[in-house]
Amino acid sequence: MTQAKYPAIRLKPKANARAIRHGSPWVYDNELVLDRRTKSLQAGTLAVLEDEGRTAMGLVAVNPGSRIVGRMLDRDPEAEIDQSWIEARLSAALDHRTRLYSAPFYRLVHAEGDRLPGVVIDRFGDVAVLQPNAAWADARKEMIADALQRVTGVSTVILNGTSRARGLEGLPEVLEVLRGAAPEGPIPVPMNGATYMADLMGGQKTGLYFDQRPNHALAARLAQGARVLDVFSHVGGFSLAMLAGGAASALAVDGSAPALELAVQGADASGVAERFATRKGDAFDTLAALAEEGEVFDVVICDPPAFAPSRKTLDPGLRAYERIARLAAPLVAEGGYLGLCSCSHAAGLDAFRAASTRGIGKAGRAGQLIHTGFAGPDHPLLPQLAETGYLKALFYRL
């Protein structure tokens, strides 16, 4: 009797096998028969997922210590997850991005959206930043780095293992160079006519947020000749795009001095430094202070971090989004524009829109909702997984 290629894990009789067959990529701990054998599997082990009748459904990566015990890698239960398999997934992802962008600055891999569960890769020209946020990928980081170089030709691969998702997988925080050499200083990134400075070794997440690119572009069109306020600006995401699009002036507000310094460098590189100013401080306090100072802007953008990163934080998160809208709305000139963003996947579009609209109303303002934006097409959404479509951007005319 030949030994099976992979161990098997099995769904409980009441688990939703149909959803998995129809493309749902995650198998939760309460859906599986977690016997002693399954619990003893090492994090990152590959296993065949079976339904209650022991029919194979596909090949999954297993982590018994995570709430997401199984992540679907391949519908073929006999698939070989080797470098060639990874290269094929990377090549498909690269083909999509090269059709979209003329320069190699984009999200190359968006986890489940690109059929590489838990894997995020952002590309900055000749440098790729890898986030292996699932145990199977972390165990194969060297293989992924080799595949990245082979498919894209990048010389440097940086592993940024500092995300919240890694903690949920039981993985340690780590930041290291897997291939090549660490960049000497920030990397200039051209986007929407501006130049951003990305700190790949010390900045937030992978160094820059590519997801807001289309929303930056819309804001730039709205801001021609305008005085703009960019709150939670990070390295100047919205403000630099609006200045490049013809805004008269921009004030960037953030709590991080290093992020604002990178924004200043970006403004200088973009040739808009004389129209750009920064203000370090807590966003809520700064919005209130600006109102007391009688400041008014033609365009105000608020792009905060995730206030509701999980279901447990949903209610306080929605209250925070409402408060941001209430504080920001009075700063918008009559007929001006207010952009409110959320990157909280736990806060769905309807709930976020209701909280934002409620905040605007509590500020005594009325607004037309003129546009609802999402992440760019280099962040493909897997329809069966809401988490891949986390970003929402609401643009109001007040």
State the catalytic residue, choosing from 93, 218, 341, 343: 343
> Directed axis angle between helix 257-270 and helix 237-244, to 10°?
20
Please provide the distance, in angstroms rounded to a whole number, between the alpha carbons at the two ends of the chain.
73
Q: Please spell the DSSP secondary structure of 20-62, one letter per residue.
A: HHTT--EEEGGGB---HHHHTSPTTEEEEEE-TT--EEEEEEE
Report d(CA 116, CA 164) in Å as an integer: 18
Asked about 302 being catalytic, the answer comes back as no
Q: Comparing C-alpha atoms, which of 160, 209, 213 is closest to residue 182?
A: 160
The one-letter amino acid at 227: R
DSSP for 209-228? --TTHHHHHHHHHHTTT-EE
d(CA 246, CA 248): 6
**Calpha distance 26→24 (Å, rounded):** 6
Q: Report angle CA 134, 47, 30 to the nearest 5 degrees.
A: 70
Cα separation of 223 and 244, whole Å?
Answer: 10
Q: Checking DSSP bridges between strand 156-161 and strand 127-132, what pairing results, if any?
A: parallel
Burial (Cβ within 10 Å: 0-12, 13-18, ≥19) of residue 317: buried
Catalytic residues: 343
